[in-house]
Amino acid sequence: MTTLLWLQASGCGGCTMSLLCAESPGVIEMLEDAGIRLLWHPALSLATGAEARAILDDVAEGRVPLDILCVEGAIARGPGGTGRFQMLSGTGQSLMAWVQRLAPRARHVVAVGTCAAYGGVTAAGGNPTDAVGLHYDGAHPDGLFAPAWRSGSGAPVVNVAGCPTHPGWVTETLMLLAAGEPVALDGYGRPRFYADHLVHHGCPKNEFYEYKASARSLSEQGCMMENLGCIGTQAVGDCNIRPWNGEGSCTRGGYPCINCTAPQFEDPAHAFVETPKIAGIPVGLPTDMPKAWFMALASLSKAATPPRIDRNAHADRVVVPPTLRKPR
C-alpha cells in the first residue's frame, strides 16, 4: 500500500478542483486501483482538528510511513522568512514549516500545479508574500528547497505544472510512483510524458496556422498566434492530444494558450490576449524554428491561403465548407 499526504499551501485550490474532474479513471477509483491510501487531504478528508493534527504528527515523527507528499499552492516565505503569512490552523506552525518537516519523510515529493512548482500566480505582481515553488523560484532552481535537495528516493521534486494542472497529469504521475516506476523529467522538473509535447500538437486551429490565417478577435476561428497572444507553439503540454474532460482545451474553447505550464507565465509583461511585435513581426516564434525560416514560410503560406480558409478564419463558425470532390 502506497501512502499519500496532500497539503494545500498558498493557492486557489483549483488543482484539486481539476483533479476531481479526472475521468477514466476518476480520482477515487484511481487511488483504489493503484493501491494508494490517502492519509489526509484538507478538502477531501473527513478528519479535521485534532484528528488531522494527529495524522500530521504521526507522519512527521515517522510513526506512519509516507511514500508521496503532494503540495498544492506556492510556499509563502514571508514575512521575513518566517512563513507566518500562512499558518496551519491549530498547530502554531506555518505551512512552510510543515512542508520542511514532512518532505524529508517522503519517498517522493510532488508539486501539484505551477504555483507549487515555480510560484505561479501566487508570486505575481511584485510577490508581496515572497511566494516560491518547492524546488524553483520562477525559473531558478532555488525555491523552498536548495537545488541539490532530493527526496527519500533520491529524486528531485516532480513538478506537475499547469494552472490548473491537468487531472490526467496528476493521476498518471501518482500511478507511476505507486508502481515504483521512474518519472522522467524535463529541464524544469516536469514529467516528460506530457512535457515532450507542445500545446500546438493536435490544436484544432492548425489548418489556419499552416496558412497563417489569423484571427483578429477572440470570436473568430483563425489562428491566435499572430494577433491574440497564443504561444501554443512554445508551450509544453498535451492539452490538445489529451483534452480536458475528453473534449476541451483553451484553444478548442477559442482562447489563446498562455503557457501556464512554464515558470513565470504569470508575468508576461503584456496582456495575455496580445501578441507583442517588433516591426509587425511577432516576438515569440515557434520553438526550434529559426526566425528567417519562419518569416519565409509565413510569407509563402499567406500568399497561398485558399479563400475558404481565409473567410472561415475571420468568422465565428464555418461559413465555407470544404470543396466536395467527385470520386474518379
φ, ψ of residue 14 in degrees (nearest 5): -65, -30
Q: What is the mean pLDDT of residues 179-203?
A: 97
The amino acid occupying position 67 is D
Residue 275, C-alpha cell as written in the block: 501578441
> Who wins on pLDDT, 116 or 278?
116
* pLDDT > 90 fraction of the chain, expressed in percent and rounded: 85
What contacts 7, CB < 8 A, 6 or more positions away? 42, 69, 70, 71, 72, 95, 98, 99, 102
Residue 66 has pLDDT above 90, yes or no: yes
Residue 13 has pLDDT above 80, yes or no: yes
Which H/E stretch holds residue 15?
helix 14-19
Domain ranges for the chain? 2-193, 197-315
Give the C-alpha separation, 6 to 39, whole Å.
8
What local confidence, expressed as pLDDT, does residue 298 receive?
77
The amino acid occupying position 91 is T
Residue 290 has pLDDT above 80, yes or no: no
Residue 294 has pLDDT above 90, yes or no: no
The amino acid occupying position 134 is L
Instruction: Scan for cell 508581496, then name that residue.
Output: 128
Instruction: Render pLDDT for 160-178 as a digit per residue (tens, 0 to 9).
Output: 999 999 999 999 999 999 9
What contacts 141, CB < 8 A, 6 or more positions away? 135, 147
Residue 41 has pLDDT above 90, yes or no: yes
CA 6, chain centre distance (Å): 17
Q: What is the DSSP letter of 248?
A: B
Residue 83, C-alpha cell as written in the block: 512563513
Contact 141, 117 (CB under 8 A): no
Contact 208, 222 (CB under 8 A): yes
Instruction: Scan for cell 481565409, then name that residue.
Output: 310
What local confidence, expressed as pLDDT, does residue 328 receive?
83
pLDDT-derived band at 280 (thresholds 50, 70, 90) equals confident
CATH no. for 197-315: 4.10.480.10
Task: Tell me which of 3.40.50.300, 3.40.50.700, 3.40.50.720, 3.40.50.1100 is the CATH number of domain 2-193.
Answer: 3.40.50.700
Residue 222 has pLDDT above 90, yes or no: yes
- pTM of the predicted structure, to 2 decimals: 0.93
Mean pLDDT of the chain: 94
Residue 286 has pLDDT above 80, yes or no: no
Instruction: Render pLDDT for 74-86 as a digit per residue (tens, 0 to 9).
Output: 999 999 999 999 9
